[in-house]
């Protein structure tokens, strides 16, 4: 039996989503910008998908811009807000590289950037490190008269911590500053509401909630002056040029209409068993304020990648960090931001459950994990006796 526990990297495609996409590929091949029957039929399917995505997050259809995924949406949002003259941008130390590397580029262009820590006061993880939750007070202290935007993720992709988006959005809006939220990991984990969250822009990616890869969306609140960052047409209300990928958008819409909220029951049972059966095992990040499907586990003295390989040989798929960073020599920037040493960061794995996982699969994961960890510890100099 093989079991998949890497749903934060990507989720399997829902059968209903595939069926909807195949139908469009087969029957609705027209260019959605054409004014004839074939084009307008494609346009109707595209706009129906736009409404479905908007409904998922409490937005109007005309506020949804289809993109190629979360990375493009983040780039469009942040670069689209950046002023021509040097300004100030605020984000956190635990953002996805699709935000952090944009922040680096802003600095190269002459802007200044503040990266606030993820250490909400009074909250610590099981090992005593920082919580992985941003304190709104830190965001507030970082704001300046020249601050043009704040970007804060909703749910961290590696440790699952849920950020205080609504609180940050409120204080940022009161100061007339634009607020962007990377919500790629949010659907199915937490309820997403652009009005309650006080966001001006919000990023989604279909393959994180059982939709297709290669399509995402950017919510742009009506009236937000987002400038174009690519050129070649006036598609997507002059936000993003290029012929629309109607089958992918339809797939995203179908997936958005079928999003289900997950329960933490299996995740909690997994952690209970791991902590009881494996000595010196820890959970990274805040244990309370987090998504219901993610557990980031640390086993000091063992390389996380060795655990991932050992589990894969037993038919169990987990991750040693963000999929976008796979192959990187450096330890997770998120775990380093919590205050972990590079050695401890490298000894961690991420287990991210999905809708299809069963109690039987989790039991198999725990048994395999115990076997792999104990075997690797026997081989580790750190545990040599």
Residues annotated as part of the active site: 324
Phi, psi at residue 170, to the nearest 5°? Answer: -65, -45
Reading the block at residue 28, the tokens are 């609705």
> Cα(177)–Cα(200) distance, rounded to whole angstroms?
9
C-alpha to C-alpha distances, 107 to 79, 81, 82, nearest whole angstrom: 12, 14, 11
Strand, helix or coil at 375?
helix
> Cα(322)–Cα(34) distance, rounded to whole angstroms?
40
Residue at token pair 């393959």: 207
Reading the block at residue 244, the tokens are 């629309």
How many angstroms from the chain centroid is the CA of residue 187?
Answer: 9
Buried b (16+ CB within 10 A) or exposed e, 114-151: bbbbbbbeebbbeeebbbbbbbbebbbebbeeebbbbb
C-alpha to C-alpha distances, 352 to 3, 10, 207, 274, nearest whole angstrom: 12, 10, 14, 15
Contact predicate 219/192, CB 8 Å = no
């Amino acid at each position: 039996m093989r079991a998949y526990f890497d749903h934060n990297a990507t989720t399997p495609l829902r059968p209903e989503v595939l069926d909807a996409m195949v139908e469009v590929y087969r029957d609705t091949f027209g260019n959605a910008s054409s004014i004839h029957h074939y084009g307008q039929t494609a346009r109707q399917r595209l706009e129906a998908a736009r409404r479905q995505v908007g409904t998922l997050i409490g937005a109007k259809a005309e506020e949804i811009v289809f993109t190629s995924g979360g990375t493009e949406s983040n780039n469009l949002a942040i670069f689209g807000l950046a002023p021509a003259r040097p300004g100030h941008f605020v984000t956190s130390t635990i953002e996805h590289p699709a935000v952090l590397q944009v922040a680096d580029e802003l600095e190269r262009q002459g802007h200044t950037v503040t990266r606030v820590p993820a250490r909400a006061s009074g909250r610590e993880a099981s090992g005593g490190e920082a919580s992985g939750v941003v304190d709104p007070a830190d965001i507030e202290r970082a704001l300046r008269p020249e601050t043009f935007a704040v970007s804060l993720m909703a749910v961290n992709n590696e440790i699952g911590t849920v950020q205080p988006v609504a609180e940050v959005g409120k204080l940022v809006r009161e100061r007339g500053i634009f607020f962007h939220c990377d919500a790629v990991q949010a659907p199915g984990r937490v309820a997403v509401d652009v009005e309650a969250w006080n966001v001006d822009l919000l990023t989604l990616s279909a393959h994180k909630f059982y939709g297709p890869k290669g399509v995402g969306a950017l919510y742009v609140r009506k009236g937000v002056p987002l400038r174009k960052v690519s050129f070649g047409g006036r598609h997507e209300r002059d936000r993003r040029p290029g012929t629309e990928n109607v089958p992918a958008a339809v797939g995203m819409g179908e997936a958005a209409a079928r999003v289900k909220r997950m329960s933490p029951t299996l995740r909690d049972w997994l952690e209970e068993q791991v902590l009881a059966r494996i000595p010196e095992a820890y959970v990274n990040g805040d244990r309370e304020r987090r998504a219901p499907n993610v557990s980031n586990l640390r086993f000091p003295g063992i390389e996380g990648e060795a655990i991932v390989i050992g589990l894969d040989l037993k038919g169990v798929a987990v991750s040693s960090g963000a999929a976008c960073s796979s192959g990187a020599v450096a330890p997770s920037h998120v775990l380093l931001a919590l205050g972990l040493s590079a050695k401890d960061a490298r000894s961690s794995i991420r287990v991210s459950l999905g809708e299809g996982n069963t109690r039987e699969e989790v039991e198999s994961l725990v048994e395999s994990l115990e076997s792999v960890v104990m075997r690797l510890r026997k081989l580790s100099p750190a545990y040599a006796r």
